[in-house]
Amino acid sequence: MDEIRASGRLRVVHVIDSLAGSGGAENRLVDEVVAMDGRFEQTVVRLFERDFLDERLGQAGVPVVALGYTAGRAGRTWPIVGHKLAGVLRDLRPDVVHTSLFTGNLVGQLAGARVGVPVVSTFNRTGEAELQRRLQPGVASWKGRVMQAIGRWAARRGDVHYRAVGEYARRTNCESLGLPLEAATVVPRGVAVEAPPSGGAGPGATAGEQAGPAVRAGFGLPEDVPLFVNVARLVPEKAQHLLVEAFALVAAELPGARLAIAGADGPAGPQVRDAVERAGLGGAVSLLGFRADARALVADADVFAFSSVSEGSPGAVVEALMLGTPVAAFSIPPVTELTGDGEHAWLAEPGDPAALARAMLAAHAAPDRSERAAAGREWAEKRYSLMAVADQLGDLLESRAARTAPGAPPAGPGIGGGR
């Protein structure tokens, strides 16, 4: 037995599609890996080319193995990627493999079965197939359907258990894959948020009280105006075109109000820009692109406005809660779940811009906004703090590794498939 195993530290290999800086799942995984660094001997395997977060892992002493494939060809190259990954796992000899995102889950499950290592895969998104097809046209194509079928097949190979980022993700994905609920364990995404920067006010301050000139100036935004902020990549499920429509109604009630959207451009970019132009809001809506410092703007905002119509567990909502910024959002199940059945947010009927506008205005003007924001911060810190979640994830990984440890009793049929 080598030195690592003699010290009692398990080897964990994390497999993920990429380490893009704009990805919520990617950032949360890196946070968790860094938080668990003293507990496990860890390696991150990155399948594709985006490497923004490699440096942060390197600074934490966590090695990254880059397989060097192209994400755009994943639908054709996944068997090759899986074969290469199996070789990497043989070299690293992990006790358990932890996978994230679709291709990471797929090839991680197949490679884990091939080398006889238990796998914990992640349900990051909704399992509602019709909703996915509506928001992601590629899922509805024959290639998308084939890949989904392959994913269902892979889920029954080897010893596979799932980490679901929320109860909604657990239920819908288990239904989609035909798995019992016991095939997944809910471990939310953890968030580490520092106190708001100096210049911003505490939770629930009014626009005049909260304006932080240095913060807003850094984003090219005026001070002393009602500020609504959204942080999300411009993709269909984030539905920022509906947010723009809602903000047009808000701006009619709050002249001078501004909406800032911080997020990398994406497939929905043209639709969002068209919505801004149609509403005549070019001077009131700022599309900031990807900003690594977006949390400072959220902390300084009057309202965090979230228009997603599909999510697994939106970390941006948790971050806003932890920063003490009032949240107005569509009442999709994951958001309702994260906000205590809506107790800690102002929620609106999904897909209805007028309803979202009313929620945004209510969050801005509520006389008890300070108290509700403070309660939301306390709620989020108790349930979604990074260290608490890292402990939960570490316990799950240890429990799965123990199934194949020397001297352990036979595991029997693996969850979701025989071993």
**Full 3-state SS string of 167-181:** HHHHHHHHHHHCCCH
Answer whether residue 201 is part of any domain: no
Helix, strand, coil percent content, the chain, rounded in steps of 5: 50, 15, 35
Stretch 312-318: mean pLDDT: 89
Q: Do 227 and 184 sit in the same domain of this protein?
A: no
Q: Do 120 and 27 sit in the same domain of this protein?
A: yes
Residue pair 251/284 in contact (Cβ under 8 Å)? The answer is yes
The answer to which of 149-163, 347-361, 362-376 has the lowest mean pLDDT is 149-163
Share of the chain above pLDDT 70, in %: 82
Q: Do 396 and 313 sit in the same domain of this protein?
A: no
CA distance linking residue 395 with residue 161, whole number of Å: 13
Residue pair 113/158 in contact (Cβ under 8 Å)? The answer is yes
CA 240 to chain centre: 17
Answer whether residue 197 is part of any domain: no
Stretch 255-280: mean pLDDT: 96
Stretch 51-77: mean pLDDT: 91
Cα torsion at 79, 236, 124, 314 (round to 10°)?
160
Residue pair 324/361 in contact (Cβ under 8 Å)? The answer is no
Q: Do 234 and 364 sit in the same domain of this protein?
A: yes
Q: Tell me whether strands 160-164 and 184-186 are parallel, antiparallel or unpaired.
A: parallel
Total domain count for the chain? 2
pLDDT at residue 51, as a whole number: 87
Residues 6+ apart with CB under 8 A from 72: none
CA distance linking residue 391 with residue 387, whole number of Å: 6
Answer whether residue 410 is part of any domain: no
pLDDT at residue 176, as a whole number: 85
Q: Do 99 and 167 sit in the same domain of this protein?
A: yes
pLDDT at residue 285, as a whole number: 97
pLDDT at residue 303, as a whole number: 97
CA distance linking residue 284 with residue 243, whole number of Å: 13
CA distance linking residue 346 with residue 64, whole number of Å: 41
| SS3 call for 41 | strand
Q: Do 30 and 146 sit in the same domain of this protein?
A: yes
Question: What confidence category does residue 407 fall into, taking pLDDT thresholds of 50, 70 and 90?
Answer: very low
Residues 335-362 have pLDDT tens digits of 999 999 999 999 999 999 999 999 999 9
Number of residues that this document lists for the chain: 419
pLDDT at residue 378, as a whole number: 94
Q: Do 118 and 211 sit in the same domain of this protein?
A: no
How many of the other CB atoms lie within 10 Å of CB of 404?
Answer: 16
Task: Kindly state the DSSP code that residue 402 receives in the 8-state scheme.
Answer: G
Stretch 389-398: mean pLDDT: 96
Answer whether residue 62 is part of any domain: yes
Q: Do 303 and 356 sit in the same domain of this protein?
A: yes
Q: Which amino acid makes up residue 142?
A: W
Question: What confidence category does residue 311 fall into, taking pLDDT thresholds of 50, 70 and 90?
Answer: confident
Residue 341 CB-density burial (10 A; 0-12 exposed, 13-18 middle, 19+ buried): exposed
Answer whether residue 412 is part of any domain: no
How many of the other CB atoms lie within 10 Å of CB of 146?
Answer: 11
Q: Do 152 and 84 sit in the same domain of this protein?
A: yes
Q: Do 163 and 19 sit in the same domain of this protein?
A: yes
Q: Do 279 and 253 sit in the same domain of this protein?
A: yes
CA distance linking residue 331 with residue 208, whole number of Å: 29
pLDDT value at 157 more than 80: no
Task: Kindly state the DSSP code that residue 18 receives in the 8-state scheme.
Answer: -
Task: Kindly state the DSSP code that residue 300 receives in the 8-state scheme.
Answer: H
380-391 burial, b at 16+ Cβ within 10 Å, e below that, comes to beeebbbeebbb
Answer whether residue 416 is part of any domain: no
Residue pointed to by tokens 């505490």 = 202
Question: What confidence category does residue 413 fall into, taking pLDDT thresholds of 50, 70 and 90?
Answer: very low
pLDDT at residue 143, as a whole number: 46
Residue 48 CB-density burial (10 A; 0-12 exposed, 13-18 middle, 19+ buried): buried
In CATH, what number is assigned to the domain containing residue 280?
Answer: 3.40.50.2000
Q: Round the average pLDDT of the chain to a whole number and report it.
A: 85
Answer whether residue 198 is part of any domain: no
The answer to which of 180-194, 261-275, 298-312 has the lowest mean pLDDT is 180-194
Q: Do 235 and 177 sit in the same domain of this protein?
A: no
Residues 29-60 have pLDDT tens digits of 999 999 999 999 999 999 998 888 999 999 99
pLDDT at residue 135, as a whole number: 53
Question: What confidence category does residue 197 fall into, taking pLDDT thresholds of 50, 70 and 90?
Answer: very low
Highest mean pLDDT of the ranges 98-107, 128-137, 140-149, 246-255: 246-255
- Return the structure tokens found at 185: 């364990």
CA distance linking residue 196 with residue 192, whole number of Å: 12
Question: What confidence category does residue 94 fall into, taking pLDDT thresholds of 50, 70 and 90?
Answer: very high
The parent domain of residue 314 ranges over 207-383
Residues 175-185 have pLDDT tens digits of 888 889 999 99
Answer whether residue 289 is part of any domain: yes
pLDDT value at 208 more than 90: no
Residue pointed to by tokens 């920022």 = 240
Question: What confidence category does residue 256 fall into, taking pLDDT thresholds of 50, 70 and 90?
Answer: very high
Residue pair 143/72 in contact (Cβ under 8 Å)? The answer is no
Q: Tell me whether strands 96-100 and 184-186 are parallel, antiparallel or unpaired.
A: unpaired
Question: What confidence category does residue 129 fall into, taking pLDDT thresholds of 50, 70 and 90?
Answer: low
